[in-house]
Amino acid sequence: MSTPQPTRSKPRGLSRRVMFLLIVSLVFGLVMVYPPLRLATWLLPAASLPPYLAPLLFAVPFALRFVHERSHQPWSRDLSAVVMTWLGICFIALCLLLPVEILVAAQWLQPQLAATIVVSLVGVLSAYGIYNAQRLSVRTVNIRAPLNLRGSTIVQISDVHIGSRRPNFLKPIVAQINQLQPDVVVITGDLIDMRGITPEDLQPLSQIQAPCFFCIGNHERYVDVDNICARLQTLGIFVLRNQTTRHPLGSGTVQFIGIDDAESRSQVRREINKLHPDEEAYRILLYHRPDGAKDARQWGIDLMLTGHTHRGQIVPFNFLVKRVFPQYYLSYDVDGMHLYVSPGTGTWGPILRLGSKCEVTLFRLM
């Protein structure tokens, strides 16, 4: 009698990836296909829509995004920006359509009128969202600090996303920073999110008229992080990768600590405990995401500056982001440590902002 061979189960990692791709495809299809088709059938009830329209609406954005991922050229970046902004517009349309569907189903609203209202609202909100994504808003935050640091200022930018955004976007950011005349500038990750961003693209950063410190974000990890850091260093940016440095400020000293971004929520605890706090300095942690605040405070951090959340960027994403990161926007007190979560200075994906702003943050030590 032959010995039965054990049945091999599929690798768990592969099954998860397949499930993830299926879920992403379903959500993507719902956002990209359903709103245009639904609005078309309501606006043109007598028209016969071609059967290939739905697969075309689904496949073309994927194809154009794929082209961008392969080429990483300025023209493909612009094409990708159009595709991703269209995705954002479709998402706005979906959010408006869902409650309107109920009104139409209850016969409280005629389909053609419903479609006209939705299209009009989508047009107005999208136009404002695109305009809002180009503006820079300055927020001033007062921070309690030792007497020898009072009167000093720090500017934070975060999540600029050069790659998703054109490199020219850096010019107004740097101009705004210099207008604020800070003593120090910090960049808390996701400055770059595309391969092939050249030193010439980043040249405006060399015009920052204050010492500038940088920690990496998740998007630098996704692309060429070592090359990015090398380029920034040639422009005079101090890159902190699980490192600390002392810097004079006012008549005192600040210890800047930069921790590399990681998905693990224990990253701050694991990396910061390899370092030594300067007992005579005011300690500022730069970490891309608002994780590990209690661990930072226990180590001795006085001020923790983060970003990553974009404040959801487009409502109602803010509700989802808040579930993942309960400390997702503005200031929090963590056992006496000041935690600040920037909504970001740029945008990722759709060049749209609804319910959030592109922020340059000015901290006044008082």
The pLDDT value recorded for residue 196 is: 83
- Tell me how far apart the alpha carbons of residues 66 and 238 are, in angstroms, rounded to a whole number: 34
Order of all β-strands in the sheet with 212-215 = 137-143, 359-365, 153-157, 184-188, 212-215, 238-239
- Cα–Cα nearest to 155, from 286, 62, 25, 35: 286
- Tell me how far apart the alpha carbons of residues 364 and 366 are, in angstroms, rounded to a whole number: 6
Q: Which domains does the chain have, with CATH numbers?
A: 16-132 (no CATH), 138-365 (3.60.21.10)
- Cα–Cα nearest to 364, from 149, 148, 136, 137: 149
pTM of the model: 0.91
Q: Are strands 330-334 and 303-306 parallel, antiparallel or unpaired?
A: unpaired
- Tell me how far apart the alpha carbons of residues 140 and 133 are, in angstroms, rounded to a whole number: 20
Over its length of 366 residues, how does the chain's per-residue pLDDT go in tens digits? 445 554 444 556 667 778 877 887 788 888 999 999 999 999 998 888 888 898 889 888 878 877 877 777 888 888 889 999 999 999 999 999 999 999 999 999 999 999 999 999 999 999 999 999 999 999 999 999 999 999 999 999 999 999 999 999 999 999 999 999 999 999 999 999 998 899 999 999 999 999 999 999 999 999 999 999 999 999 999 999 999 999 999 999 999 999 999 999 999 999 999 999 999 999 999 999 999 999 999 999 999 999 999 999 999 999 999 999 999 999 999 999 999 999 999 999 999 999 999 999 999 999
The CA distances from residue 274 to 75, 257, 259, 278, 296, in Å, are 44, 12, 11, 13, 12
The pLDDT value recorded for residue 1 is: 47
Residue with tokens 């005349």: 181
- What is the distance of C-alpha 53 from the center of its chain? 32
User: Which pair of structure tokens corresponds to residue 5?
Assistant: 């061979």
Question: What is the secondary structure of 165-204 as a DSSP string?
Answer: B-GGGHHHHHHHHHHH--SEEEEES-SB-STT--TTTTGG
